[in-house]
A and B are shown apart, each in its own frame.
Chain A
Amino acid sequence: DSGVTQTPKHLITATGQRVTLRCSPRSGDLSVYWYQQSLDQGLQFLIQYYNGEERAKGNILERFSAQQFPDLHSELNLSSLELGDSALYFCASSRHITGGFGAEAFFGQGTRLTVV
């Protein structure tokens, strides 16, 4: 158990809909990262928050948005869903904002989103 909790574990929704994925980081971790893993793809970095503020942005579509709340949990909002958005979405957390990402990064079990 990494200490990072993601809900829900599975989500099936129709095209055009909007969903929210939730992540609770490990206790004491201030950074939250969102990653997308599509079929046969590596983990694609979407966005990072540190202590409530956006710190880095990757290949995140304009239809997607995220935020980190004062209690440090984070939500990833996906709207106008398309079939191609079907993927595993992982959240990771770490204590530090710069460097040393390795050992301090802990991943949740992921949310499997299926768009039909």
Chain B
Amino acid sequence: DQQVKQNSPSLSVQEGRISILNCDYTNSMFDYFLWYKKYPAEGPTFLISISSIKDKNEDGRFTVFLNKSAKHLSLHIVPSQPGDSAVYFCAASGQTGANNLFFGTGTRLTVIP
């Protein structure tokens, strides 16, 4: 049962344009959401997170939006750069004391120079 879903396995964007990666979740108990970035032959690295008490969190070129009513979050990258090409995983966590993260299947972003 996939509680966190990334329905787009891949996305291609021109350099300089906006990349929008989407993620949906089913468990209303999730209260903390994260995006991880993964390059080939490396482990995932933390990118940005958002708590359920917020609807937006921004860090440089990266912004995460959370729509709790729709159980949907998105990651915006503006402007996109070739170095952003990687697999992006959405993850969710919930309930104080529960440390296991539930990951989506990932979206492969390709930024075309």
Contacts and interface: CB of A to CB of B under 8 A. Distances in A.
A100 to B, nearest CB: 8
Interface string A56-73: 101000000000000000
B99 interface: yes
A84 to B, nearest CB: 17
B22 to A, nearest CB: 14
Interface residues of A, number: 30
Interface in B22-49: 32, 34, 36, 41-46, 49
Interface stretch (B11-19, B70-78, B90-98): B90-98
Interface string A36-50: 000011111100100
Interface residues of B, number: 27
A101 B101 contact: yes
Interface in A23-38: 31, 33, 35
Contacts of B49: 102-103
B43 A90 contact: yes
Nearest to A107: B43
Interface centre among A2, A92, A94, A99 (most CB of B within 10 A): A99
Interface of B: 2, 4, 6, 32, 34, 36, 41-46, 49, 89, 91, 93, 96-106
